[in-house]
Amino acid sequence: MADDYQMPKGELMRGKRGIVTGVANHQSIAWGIASQLAAQGAEMAFLHLPGMERRVAPLAESIGVKLLSPVDVTDDASMDAAFAAVKAAFGTIDFFVHAIAFANKDELKGSFVDNTTREGFLRALNISAFSFVDCARRAAEMMPEAGGSIITLTYMGSERAIPNYNTMGVAKAALEAAARYAARDLGPKGIRVNALSPGAMRTLSLAGIQGGRGMLAKGRSLSAMKEDTSMEGVAGAALWLLSDLGRSTTGELVHVDAGFHIMGFSDDAEGEG
């Protein structure tokens, strides 16, 4: 987030409670989203990877997060305990933010065909896609009759083949399909499910991808707006989808990437031939 940027304050999330996953540090996309939700009056619980308390606690405290609980999404007992803790504190929830992904570093470089292993592939799909299904089911069970809103975070490496993104691109394709199926299942209960697809952003996750800096630079130069994806833009889109502003939108894949996904040829191809 730009240091001088203040997330717009208001009441759009007043009276709403929810869970935010995936805050690891102040650069995390989940942190930008949580800051915006707090500025609009949301009450939140953070579910973070075990061992991250020291980093996450001061951030959570600074925006009045009510509950911090560790969760490892690969472990059923850990999931049971984390969701039970939120249920005990909040009773019901109105929104859920899934911002979790992982693939072994060795799978995020070079040749997709040569470097993808069974173990690495399944691990990436488990943490980055199945976790969403599991979270959506547990979150939906805690939502009131009035319904609720769930979002997940994806990347355009699901739709196009991006260098080094490899296994994670396949996991994101599964995640996006899972979000559509969840939207279909949960729609009759008034629960909306959407996926946000930001352009590359400077976070811990990006650092795990070989050539991550290149993804940032390419994303910028190939985008329609010729600029980086901003945390404020991603947080604003999340606010739209999680608040009642988004009430008729579900099953959608929303790109927040300064127009990276609409571009065909890059500008330097113009005038050739």
Ligand X SMILES: NC(=O)c1ccc[n+]([C@@H]2O[C@H](COP(=O)([O-])OP(=O)(O)OC[C@H]3O[C@@H](n4cnc5c(N)ncnc54)[C@H](O)[C@@H]3O)[C@@H](O)[C@H]2O)c1
Q: Which residues bind ligand X (CB under 6 A)?
A: 22-24, 28-30, 49, 52, 71-74, 99-102, 127, 153-155, 198, 200-201, 203-206
Whichever of 146 and 217 has its CB closer to ligand X, that residue is 217
- Angle CA(105)–CA(205)–CA(90) in degrees, nearest 5? 130
User: What is the closest distance, in whole angstroms, from the C-beta atom of residue 48 to ligand X in the complex?
Assistant: 6
Tokens of 259: 């127009």
Distance in Å, CB of 263 to ligand X, minimum: 17
Token readout for 118 is: 């069974």
d(CA 12, CA 37): 8
Beta carbon nearer to ligand X, 189 or 261: 261
Alpha carbons within 13 A on the beta-carbon side of 54: 1
Spacing of C-alpha 233 from chain mean position: 13
Q: Smallest distance from the beta carbon of 213 to ligand X, in angstroms?
A: 11
Start-end of H helices in the chain: 29-39, 53-62, 76-90, 112-115, 118-125, 131-141, 166-186, 204-207, 212-222, 231-242
Comparing C-alpha atoms, which of 101, 132, 125 is closest to residue 19?
Answer: 132
Identify the burial level of 267 via C-beta atoms within 10 angstroms of its C-beta, where 0-12 means exposed, 13-18 middle and 19 or more buried.
exposed
* For ligand X, the closer CB: 23 or 93: 23
- Minimal distance, residue 3 CB to ligand X, in Å: 18
Cβ-based nearer residue to ligand X, 28 or 243: 28
Least separation in angstroms between CB 170 and ligand X:
13
Backbone φ/ψ region at 239: left (φ over 0), alpha (ψ -120 to 50), beta:
alpha
In the complex with ligand X, the residue whose CB is nearer, 187 or 212, is: 212
Pairing type for strands 43-48 and 253-256 reads: unpaired
Asked whether the beta carbons of 198 and 160 are under 8 A apart, the reply is no
Give 204 or 245: the residue with its C-beta nearer to ligand X. 204
**Minimum distance from residue 49 beta carbon to ligand X (Å):** 3
Residue 221's alpha-carbon distances to 78, 83, 180, 209, in angstroms, are 42, 42, 31, 19
Cα–Cα distance, 198 to 201 (Å, whole number): 8
Could you give the residue numbers annotated as active site?
155, 165
